[in-house]
Amino acid sequence: MDWLNLLVYPAVRVLVLFFVLLTGFAYLTWYERKLLARFQVRYGPNRAGRFGLLQPLADAIKALFKEEIVPDHVDRPVYLLAPALAIVPALIIWAVIPVAKDFPAVADVPIGILWILAVAGIEGYGVILAGWSSNNNYSLLGALRSSAQMISYELPLGIFLVSILVLAGTFSLVELVEMSRPWWEWLWLWLVFPLFFICILAETNRSPFDLPETENELVAGFQTEYGGMKFALFFMAEYINMITTSAIMATLFFGGWKGPFADQYVWLGPVYLFIKVVALLFLFIWVRASVSRPRWDQLMRFSWQFLLPVSLMHLMGSAVFTVFLK
């Protein structure tokens, strides 16, 4: 039995997916630190192994052996549950993302985009409950900022996704990647990609929109009372979210696994998807190195007064294109 036949079994796919994502998270930290070092004209990790490639392993060992302290004043069950609620949605979104021809990560369901919207709505609960259960004013303020930010940017993000649905005429991500699109549709999608990417930055709490955890204002915000592996789980959730949202953007805007000869050679699909995800992760890191953090009122005003009207106009344009050009 070759590896392709073995991957028919969903349980095997899930195990492979978890292994790839956890390894990807570890080396995304190395990738980010190396890139930021180059932006700032320094070396970055270069001591643990050749080119610092063992640095993620050293960080993992450090986190595992750190002392685990649960403060007496926290709501213990919710406090312990919050890190899991932060990381699980980032993992299970991958269930519907296609990685090769006729080959989704776990299952080909006809409501793939609805699954992404539903699961993405759960991600904020981990952060909010972490801040609330910590019984700490800094943590609570960070959680309130997070809930306001994520609700505000989920609105234009969801409308942009509806625009893509209107153009594609399907909820299935597998069909979305495999269908052929006219050139004008690609241009219309790429026109809105920068705004979609800004929404993703806000949804993943990435710089410059990492206001829920601004170190200089909130002492790490909702993570203030967390340490050791519990803190590492929040850290892991952020980076796996980066990988997951990059895969979603690659699937929606750049053809996903598609590339030269990917239809003939199934193994090329994951390679092309990997290249596109790495390129989009470079954008995340480039923005972090280049753009300063806005004020809170600027962040919220940008969503409600600019992104929301533009997303509605893009939705109306998509409907017009669908009626008159398709």
Q: Which domain holds residue 281?
A: 69-325
Give domain status of residue 252, yes or no: yes
CA–CA dist 131, 127 (Å, integer): 6
- DSSP per residue, 234-302: HHHHHHHHHHHHHHHHHHHHS-TT--TTTTT-TTHHHHHHHHHHHHHHHHHHHHHHH-PPPPHHHHHHI
pLDDT at 281: 94
Residue bearing tokens 């890191």: 285
Position 12 in a domain: no
- Write out residues in the chain with pLDDT < 70, as ranges: 1-10, 104-105, 212-220, 326
C-alpha to C-alpha distance for 73 and 197, rounded to whole angstroms: 39
Kindly report whether the global pTM for this prediction surpasses the value 0.85: yes
Are 121 and 158 in contact, with CB atoms under 8 Å apart? no
- Look at residue 190 and tell me if it is in a domain: yes
φ/ψ bin of 291: left (φ > 0), alpha (ψ from -120 to 50), beta (otherwise):
beta
| Mean pLDDT value across the chain | 84
Q: Residue 36 CA to chain centroid, in angstroms? A: 19
pLDDT for residue 194: 93
Residue 1: what pLDDT?
42
6 in a structural domain? no
| Residue 8 placed within a domain | no
**Beta strand ranges found along the chain (DSSP E):** 98-100, 103-104
Number of domains in the chain: 1
Structure tokens at 180: 């052929």
Identify the pLDDT of residue 7: 54
Identify residue 42 by its one-letter amino acid code. Answer: R
The answer to the question of residue 21 being in a domain is: no
Q: Is 203 inside any structural domain?
A: yes
pLDDT at 238: 85
16 assigned to some structural domain: no
Determine the Cα–Cα distance for residues 97 and 104; give it in Å rounded to an integer: 6
